[in-house]
Amino acid sequence: MKIVVTGALGHIGSKLIRVLPEQFSNVEITMVDNLLVQRYCSLFNLPSTAKYRFIEDDILKMDLEALFKGASAVVHLAAITNAASSFDHPELVEKVNYEATTMVGKACAKLNVPLIYLSTTSVYGTAEKVVDENCRPDELKPQSPYADSKLRGEQYLTMLGKEQGLRFVTCRFGTIFGTSIGMRFHTAVNKFCWQAVLGEPITVWTTAYDQKRPYLDLDDGVNAICMIIKNELYDREIYNVLSANLTVRDIVETIKTSIPNVTVKFVDTKIMNQLSYEVSIAKFAKKGFVAKGNPTNGIRETIKLLKGSQSLST
């Protein structure tokens, strides 16, 4: 079995490439990453139970048909994922997140190679208390160039599925928490943990403290990808993937159990969604997925890692 992972050295990818050999015997893993953020450490100490091939390149410039030929699946993780900073570089986000996805989709369709596309629950924007994959079009209100590019990527792949027979599945991941060798600290939970360990105030968007949002344990996310590959779940559907719906207050209170003297500083942001909603995982659960991630454990693990490896103290 050959699996191609784009964006393989990132927060999700660096964990996925280590779990795949545990789930699939004799797997060949082709890892593609442009090393834009220089996460060389993601390549350290890879398991000896798989055959790895690393390609440092830009998927916008590669011969994707040659890259994907013979693959059992392509996992498309390559993306610019910082929603807040995506306002500063909308053209780059368009190229990396949307244009690259169209190219990946076209190559997979031509070769009849199945594709797993990672989108985001940030595409939602609704006044309803609970939202699912069958929501009305007016409940899809991405509020950043990042989320907008992901939604249009979904729509393009849906078109390719109808017109060219692309086999794919779209996963709308909640905000990731949990540790990996390639992790970054711009998303909510990880950023809060970093600030708390440094003794800095946790910076929270003014409108966000009591808004409920979906969060995803990294292990749950990786297990979801493996489940899709095992079951060949390329049904051209969209699935929400998350571990829990939480408020920022919930997260801060959990951090306080490890670092009691945490303070909160409210800040403004270009993303000012004043709506609160929960995202349903019922559709994916019917396919057999069980979320096992515990936000409390994930937060404590992240804090412990930061304190230990960085010798940081509050």
pLDDT of residue 138: 84
Tell me what pLDDT residue 274 has. Answer: 56
Is 60 exceeded by the pLDDT of residue 158?
A: yes
The CATH class, in words, for 2-176+216-241 is alpha beta
| Angle at 259 (CA atoms; ends 254, 263), nearest 5 degrees | 85
pLDDT recorded at residue 83: 54
Q: How far apart are CA 173 and CA 122, in angstroms?
A: 9
Residue ranges matching CATH 3.40.50.720 in the chain: 2-176+216-241
pLDDT > 70: percent of the chain: 92
Phi, psi of 117 (to 5 degrees): -110, 125
Q: Considering the chain, what is the average pLDDT of its residues?
A: 90
179-212+244-278+292-310: CATH topology is UDP-galactose 4-epimerase; domain 1 (3.90.25)
Mean pLDDT of 150-156: 96
- Quick one: pLDDT at residue 85? 54
What's the confidence (pLDDT) of residue 88? 57
As a whole number, mean pLDDT of residues 217-242 equals 97
Give the pLDDT score at 206. 74
Mean pLDDT in residue range 291-302 = 93
Per the listing, tokens 């979801």 go with: 224
- Residues of the chain within CATH 3.90.25.10 domain(s) are 179-212+244-278+292-310
Q: What's residue 211's pLDDT?
A: 85
At 194-206, the pLDDT tens digits run 999 999 999 887 7
pLDDT digits 0-9 by tens, 107-132:
999 999 999 999 999 899 876 789 99
Alpha-carbon 292 to chain mean position? 17
The number of CA neighbours under 13 Å toward the Cβ of 81 is: 24
Q: Which of 29, 32, 23 is nearest to 229 (CA)?
A: 23
Per-residue pLDDT tens digits for 248-288:
999 999 999 999 999 999 887 655 455 678 999 999 999 99
Give the residue from 226, 78, 209 showing the smallest Cα distance to 153.
78
